[in-house]
Amino acid sequence: MKIEYLYFGVVAMMVGIGLVVACSNNDDGGGSVSGSDPSAPEGGDEGAFGDDDDDNADDDTEDDPFDGENSCPFDYSENPGCDEDDEACRMAVLINVARFGNEDESDCAVPIQWSGALAAVALAHAQDMCERGYVAEATPEGEDFADRLADAEIIVVRHAENNGKITDEEFDITDLHNAFMGGGPCLENERGHILDRDLTHVGVGVHHCTDGFLYVTEDFGTFDADELRDDLHEFCDGK
């Protein structure tokens, strides 16, 4: 399938596969765009939850996404603090799969932890994008993630947001995660937020919209300034 990329502001639309992704990094006011074919495997992320439709006992062996080499002093396989039967939580697990599989680029980022407060903000934004037909960090009125944090009285020292939508029947959250991870390394894009060593918590909102799309918002935040690292990020040249 031929994939065409159309760029509108901070949104990348992938014509033919029904994917739109957008991200923002609110610490420096910048924003960037990334996108990739969600059917393409991404190193460290493939097979995190297996194939739910495969009932063949001979093919029922599921690869452990955390079964590999990683020298970081963390157990990325631990539950991040949410119900893994929930789609939103599963996206948090995928973030830790990505951090496990990309230890150099993440510079041994800590395993992401679930924040119910951030999840509530993320879900409300995913629902709003569905209801009003847009995919972006800023609402049509110009309210951004920082504004939503302030409205919810959530105080963080660092924050970032990923947004996306994908056709609901053809693809799922794993496909959207792989698309988020399809951007270039060491950039302020969706991949960069997922692997950011200074982002410690996430809340995810997943909303199945009546327009046939699955809308997702990943809201990242760090609550403790002591969690911010000041050592050199060797892989990303002092990112």
User: Each residue of 135-164: pLDDT tens digit?
Assistant: 999 999 999 999 999 999 999 999 999 999
**pTM for this model (two decimals):** 0.80
Q: Beta-carbon neighbour count of residue 134 at 10 Å?
A: 17
The tens digit of pLDDT for each residue in 192-201 reads: 999 999 999 9
Sheet of 201-208: strands edge to edge? 4-8, 11-15, 19-25, 158-167, 213-222, 201-208, 113-114
For the chain (length 239 residues), average pLDDT per consecutive 10? 28 48 54 34 40 45 85 97 97 98 97 98 98 98 98 98 95 96 95 98 98 97 97 83
